[in-house]
Chains A and B, each alone.
Chain A
Amino acid sequence: MIIKDAVCPFCGCLCDDLDVEIDGQRIIRVQNGCTLAESTFTGSTRLQAPIRRTASGWEMISYDDAITDAADILLSSDRPLLYGWSSTHGETQSFGVHIAELIGGVIDNTSTVCHGPSILAIQEVGHPGCTLGQVKNRADVIIYWGCNPTEAHPRHMSRYTTFATGFFVPEAQRGRTVIVVDTRRTESAEIADEFIRIKRGGDYQVLSALRAIVRGKGNVIPNEVAGVSREQLIRIAEICKNAKFGAIFFGLGLTMSAGKYKNVRNAIELTDELNRHTKFTISPLRGHANVYGSNEVFTWITGYPYAVDFARGIAFYNPGETTAVDILRRGECDAALIVASDPGAHLPHSAAAHLAKIPTILIDPHQTATTPLCRLQIPCTIAGIDAEGTAYRMDGVPIRYKKIVESSYPDDADLLRRIHDRILEVKGA
């Protein structure tokens, strides 16, 4: 049986045109998706049952015991950290926030090591963006800055930009100019009409130079800015000003390099400047399928998109202080709940190491690099495969994950609801 228009739960593209073929409760083939989708849907190594670490090793335990243990750990901690959230669906994220509020903990999501700096920049200067269909239908100039979509968002170019046909761009690639800006010549750069190679750390300068040229102050630009020639800079600025609709997409090249959110801020301000000449938008390429969902859910409940600290009884936000890496680095948390993410693999190890020192609960369907660090792992459904729920695409469009197959795993939303209710019960007493 083929399930049509399934939604892929891997990356921020949130492609919803996959045809997934199943045989009973087994997924056997995925059509229309990229290789990342293929491995997401057809991979099969999942943890069988909850496991708990004891002095003598690991033992399997029941879900009921696991939930009681998890609630007890959270109840007896002074400063719990609830981290992750990007790979699960909205209802689970909501429960996470409510648990954090209940126990006065800190809740953070993976934006913190991904597009957190983009959020900081947006909080300084705003975000002139649009949905992906605007780009598909109108953009004749597309700039990929500090990102490599062929590796991390393989169908971005075919669904939304370079290779997509749009209402106003019926000739697709022939009607679009694609510019790639990076420190190294990536595969994305190979497809570009124009490649700008920047010296590492030079994004900020190059953005400033472009802004100056767009404002008519090109005469102050020296012959070379961070390895980019003045001539190329002027040419790029002209292309942008003459665009009918320009779309900038940016990634971790800006957020992770020196300057962090200042790089992104400069790119946004360049976009603002270009809007005085023509239509220009800028958007972050969100990594995980539903990391934006965690930002949205956190925000409408608490007011803040990540790094929210409830210890004072109010929602408190101070990136650098209430962000997961900093809390872990300072050894500040005395318990952790990790849901739908893998800090063992994706956080610096001097921070991840702290998870091994404290009681850490991991709610994740797979054995991950965090498994060895935790005290208790509870496997659950995978949103988009055996659980349905809301996800927010990188441009904010909300799409509902389909449940492709049934499984006996509990939905992580249910697990969290039970933990929440148990905590409420104990606290109420």
Chain B
Amino acid sequence: MTELLVKNACVFDPLNGISMDVMDISIRDGRVVESVSATAEVIDAHGCLTLPGGIDSHSHVCGTKVNFGRYMSPEDMRAGRTARRGKMHVTSGYYVPTTFGNSYRYSTMGYTTVLEGAMAPLEARHTHEEFTATPHQDMMANTLFDGNWAIMEAVQKRDVKRAAAIVAWTLSAVKGYSIKLTNPGGTEAWGWGEDLTSIHEPVPNFNVTPAEIITTMIAANEFLHLPHSVHLHCNNLGKPGNYQTTLETFDLVPDRNNGRQTLYATHVQFHAYGGTTWRNISSKSEEIAHSVNAKPQIVMDMGQIMFGRTMTMTADGPMEFNLYCLHHNKWSNHDVELETGSGIIPVLYSKKSLVNCVMWAIGLELALLTKNPYQCLLATDNPNGAPFVKYPEIIGLLMSKRYRDEEFATLHNDTGQRTIISSIEREMDWNEIAIMTRAGQAKALGITPQGKGHLGVGAEADIAIYPIRCRNVDPSTEYRKVIEGFQKTMYTVKRGRIIARDGEVIVEGANSTFWVNPSVPEEISVATDPEFVRKFEEYYTVRMGNYPVQDVYLPRGKCIRTEVLP
């Protein structure tokens, strides 16, 4: 039995309605309890800001395309390297750190749970191997279905139960957590070098539209009672004028779940562009926020870009190729048979580029214009918008109008004509930041029942203590303190163990991977459906028996079982 007592913590625990209460937190055997004995180890938070461990609801850190990004970028590996020190292995990489690099840097920032943004089922084994090598965060995988042949066939037949059965089989086979759709239908078109330009354009050879894929998958998701909603990277990412696609997509979404959103729209900044070309691109954040404010069934994340170099990597193959045509940087592509695609290319977001300045403004506008902080979460689509180590700066920008104005003054002169950021007065407070960086994620991902995202009795003791005396710091003016404070915790506690102190990770990790095993009625199960099996064996290049990820890959896997409606 191990006990820990955190004294004098200035706690924000939005899910339990706690806001700036100085209190003690008692922990026994990895969980928050009412009280502990006198023999408990004691740490003193000295009245500093104490939050549940950070949760990243969309980050590309593990898997095939991430590793591609690493080995094609030795110059980035060199830029971010650190030496072996104490318990810490060497790390490399600044935009695409190695797995230990990711893990230590997240720990330093107080993050204890991460949803990997995209995992192709065929290559899931790779993602799980990297999960184990990201030892200080509990991991989950968004599982890609956007170009899935069996799914598109079910969508074409308007067979929601069939789609659900395929999702159920696939998620349990590859130990995924949730349904991810990236440019639905577009990734299949990219198999031929094409893309789709509207959610009503049919996918070549499959005769289904993105709108149909999205609505069918939402229905399937809810039928299966999955903990997370469908997680969507909308069509037409990055194209001027694409806000129309985004609004049309949002209009498709019913309100099907009382406990959480029915659609999680990710990195919406990239999907909020007005104008018709790069020359007249403008922010449509108001229209997007207006739509989301009226739709409690939608939660989005910012997809904030920050200036500097970074690496883009997504399953959106055609989008990455377009970036290649634009910038002529080194470009990688990796289409996955029967499932999805991916592309990788480095980019530079520059203050000299009006387009980039507009992008920067849009992310912030979305957050500030969304009334309910549970509906717009903090993320950069790491590393696409910026590496996650920049989250503290984003927090600073959200909490301080002054900081925003100072940054705005350094941007391209015409930025103000295309955006409204300079007119927004709102400043987030500590509670709203706590929602946007952990409570909101826990709720959206459906992991509060697992004890994540809050500090009530029974919660997993994932705790971040930041060196910020929040009662004495005015974030509006002292944003530098806010930023520095969020960059390095005094303590990061994971399941009741102190894993990081002042930027140093001090123990070996033992993370868990959360995955979902949805059950469906026997009569619709695809595992024994001869047609499903026949097509699998004929068109894939691996045998169906070799496809599922064996238990050995999840040494501390946590399986969540779900049942369909009776």
**Contact (Cβ within 8 A) B67 A296:** yes
Residues in chain A near residue B68, CB distance under 8 A: 127, 396
Spot the interface stretch: A35-43, A78-86, A219-227, A300-308: A300-308
Residues in chain A near residue B338, CB distance under 8 A: 133, 137
**Contact (Cβ within 8 A) B332 A129:** yes
**Contact (Cβ within 8 A) B546 A16:** yes
Closest to A125 in B: B330
The yes or no answer to B123 lying at the interface (CB within 8 A) is: yes
**Contact (Cβ within 8 A) B333 A129:** yes
Residues 312 to 353 of chain B near chain A (Cβ within 8 Å): 321, 324-325, 329-338, 344-345
Q: How many A-B residue pairs have CB under 8 A?
A: 181
Known contacts A127-B72, A272-B331, A305-B71; A5 and B90 CB within 8 A of each other: no
The yes or no answer to A320 lying at the interface (CB within 8 A) is: no
How many chain B residues touch the partner (CB < 8 A)?
Answer: 60
Closest to B99 in A: A300
The yes or no answer to A58 lying at the interface (CB within 8 A) is: no
Residues in chain B near residue A4, CB distance under 8 A: 545
**Contact (Cβ within 8 A) A304 B92:** yes
Spot the interface stretch: B22-30, B125-133, B159-167, B209-217: B125-133
Spot the interface stretch: A194-202, A351-359, A397-405: A397-405
- How near does chain B come to A130, taking the closest CB pair, in angstroms? 4
As a 0/1 sequence over residues 48 to 70 of chain B, the CB contacts with chain A under 8 angstroms (1 = contact) are: 00000000000000101001101
The yes or no answer to A25 lying at the interface (CB within 8 A) is: no
Closest to B341 in A: A130
Closest to B77 in A: A303
The yes or no answer to B191 lying at the interface (CB within 8 A) is: yes
- How near does chain A come to B233, taking the closest CB pair, in angstroms? 20
Known contacts A16-B546, A166-B539, A304-B77; A122 and B332 CB within 8 A of each other: yes
Please report the C-alpha to C-alpha distance between residue A300 and residue B125 in the assembled complex, in whole angstroms. Answer: 14
**Contact (Cβ within 8 A) A296 B126:** yes
B74, B82, B99: most-surrounded residue (chain A CB, <10 A): B74
Residues in chain A near residue B345, CB distance under 8 A: 126
Please report the C-alpha to C-alpha distance between residue A310 and residue B91 in the assembled complex, in whole angstroms. Answer: 11
Known contacts A126-B72, A129-B332, A314-B90; A275 and B539 CB within 8 A of each other: no
As a 0/1 sequence over residues 113 to 128 of chain A, the CB contacts with chain B under 8 angstroms (1 = contact) are: 0000001001111111
Contact of B126 among A119, A276, A398 (CB under 8 A): A398
Residues in chain A near residue B333, CB distance under 8 A: 126-130, 281
The yes or no answer to B542 lying at the interface (CB within 8 A) is: yes
**Contact (Cβ within 8 A) A392 B337:** no
- How near does chain B come to A19, taking the closest CB pair, in angstroms? 11
- How near does chain A come to B96, taking the closest CB pair, in angstroms? 9
The yes or no answer to B93 lying at the interface (CB within 8 A) is: yes
Residues 286 to 306 of chain A near chain B (Cβ within 8 Å): 295-296, 299-305
Residues in chain B near residue A275, CB distance under 8 A: 193, 321
Known contacts A272-B331, A302-B92, A303-B74; A313 and B84 CB within 8 A of each other: yes
The yes or no answer to A134 lying at the interface (CB within 8 A) is: yes
**Contact (Cβ within 8 A) A399 B74:** no
Residues 124 to 176 of chain A near chain B (Cβ within 8 Å): 124-134, 136-138, 159-160, 165-168
**Contact (Cβ within 8 A) A136 B337:** yes
- How near does chain B come to A176, taking the closest CB pair, in angstroms? 16
Closest to A7 in B: B546
Please report the C-alpha to C-alpha distance between residue A310 and residue B84 in the assembled complex, in whole angstroms. Answer: 9
The yes or no answer to B532 lying at the interface (CB within 8 A) is: no
**Contact (Cβ within 8 A) B122 A123:** no
**Contact (Cβ within 8 A) A123 B344:** no
As a 0/1 sequence over residues 132 to 145 of chain B, the CB contacts with chain A under 8 angstroms (1 = contact) are: 01000000000000
Residues in chain A near residue B72, CB distance under 8 A: 122-123, 126-127
B90, B334, B541: most-surrounded residue (chain A CB, <10 A): B541
As a 0/1 sequence over residues 98 to 135 of chain B, the CB contacts with chain A under 8 angstroms (1 = contact) are: 11110000000000000000000011011001100100
What are 21 contact pairs spanning A and B, CB under 8 A? A4-B545, A5-B546, A17-B543, A94-B133, A126-B333, A127-B334, A129-B333, A129-B334, A131-B337, A136-B541, A167-B539, A281-B335, A300-B67, A303-B70, A304-B74, A310-B90, A315-B81, A390-B125, A396-B68, A396-B123, A398-B125
**Chain B residues within 8 Å of A, Cβ to Cβ:** 62, 64, 67-68, 70-74, 77-78, 81-84, 89-93, 98-101, 122-123, 125-126, 129-130, 133, 149, 191-193, 205, 321, 324-325, 329-338, 344-345, 538-543, 545-546, 550
**Given A138-B192, A300-B99, A397-B122, 11 other A-B contacts at CB below 8 A?**
A94-B133, A124-B330, A127-B72, A127-B333, A127-B334, A279-B191, A281-B335, A299-B98, A312-B83, A397-B123, A399-B542
**Chain A residues within 8 Å of B, Cβ to Cβ:** 4-5, 7, 16-17, 90, 94, 98, 101, 119, 122-134, 136-138, 159-160, 165-168, 244-245, 272, 275-276, 278-281, 295-296, 299-305, 310, 312-315, 317, 390, 392, 396-400
